[in-house]
Amino acid sequence: MDKFVIRGGNRLKGQVAIDGAKNAALPIMAAALLAEGPCDISRVPALADITAMSDLLGELGASVEHADGRMRIEVRDESNSHAQYERVRKMRASICVLGPLLAKRGQARVSMPGGCAIGARPVDLHLRGLRALGAQIELDNGDIVAKARRLRGTSLFLGGPFGSTVLGTANVMSAATLAEGRTVIESAACEPEIEDLADFLNAMGAKIRGAGTPRVTIDGVEKLAGCPHEVIPDRIEAGTFMVAAALTNGEVTLTNARLDHLMAVVDKLREIGVNVEPSAGGAVVSSARRLEPTDVTTQPYPGFPTDLQAQLMTLLCLADGNSVITEKIFPDRFMHVAELLRMGADIRKEGPTAIVTGVRRLIGAPVMASDLRASAALVLAGLVARGTTEILRVYHIDRGYERIEQRLNALGADIQRVSE
């Protein structure tokens, strides 16, 4: 098991290219199960989650080739529709195969998914949406068992207690492409990743309108064909590098970054005192020496993303005053707080809210990553901390950031990956 050893205090300066979005690539890979013929997908990052999905698709009868950011997926055997626990337990995005399997093969057996320990994430909205399309669904020995000779279009509502469901929208939208008639999804997720999935499905021959808005309309078709597609840039990775530049008083140019996908983040960073200037195909990010405190609440897109909450908290640990962070998507997503406290942060957690009082400096310490985005927050803290920081369980960060230590080192950081 690897760990990171980080010697903090270096100013980051230079240019970094943002990879394709993991959270877009995974549902797109699952949706390739719908196609007749090969799908050629570009800008697919080399991540542990991508490998896990590739392995899962392989067990479901697809050939998957992935090299240098390019991936070819072609279904060659549709006899197996069982996504087993050993594969699915590694990440929650595995649930995205449920809708495509059901729509294309008429049946699916998918183990309840796993992933990061950031709180309960029930799949009831996925099942509600598929039942509305006519699927018969039951739970059997930890598996979701779904059957339908052919799905039928309908109007359905996908809102939940914490807003719309991104993966639920992906599942239902994918399934509805082969349903008979028209499907209207109300309270659909508006994330750019959903819009990217719809673009991919439409290139395959689907008829989807309204993706990226709360109402998505899908007219079912008889079949879908393989197609080429390029994955959108990863807005969460871009936001993480923005915070890295701000923390270190650096100046970092991001290429292949879409600021229109990061408006809430850019607005909050500018309020804190971070300079974000658009450039050709990206942005230049730098910061003032004095960071202002702020209040932020995570919300569904286009609000501030929960996947950048931990990173922003690290930045606010060095702001001049008190900040308040309220988590509305996953109220228990504060496992990074205890580790930041070990590094000298001043944070008080009260239910779904964290009150962050800025300190003059963070101190290097041994810390342990609990989930993907918490890992990123601890790496950011290590970049600016005085002394040496050791981060255990970095396999979490490998799920969502390709070679992050090499890319940060190219900007001037001092990070070493060590095998324990």
The number of beta carbons lying within 10 Å of the beta carbon of residue 332 is 12
**CB < 8 Å & 24+ apart, contacts of 65-71:** 69/20, 69/42, 69/43, 69/44, 69/45, 70/40, 70/41, 70/42, 70/44, 71/29, 71/40, 71/41, 71/42, 71/44
**207 with 193: CB under 8 angstroms?**
no
3-state secondary structure of 318: coil
DSSP output for 40-92: EEES----HHHHHHHHHHHHTTEEEEEETTEEEEEE---S--EE-HHHHTT-G
Whether 116 is catalytic: yes
Question: If residue 198 lies in a helix (H) or strand (E), which one and from where to where?
Answer: helix 192-204
Encoded tokens for 356 = 């962050």
Catalytic entry in 96, 116, 190, 227: 116
Number of Cβ atoms within 10 Å of the Cβ of 267:
11
Catalytic annotation, residues: 116
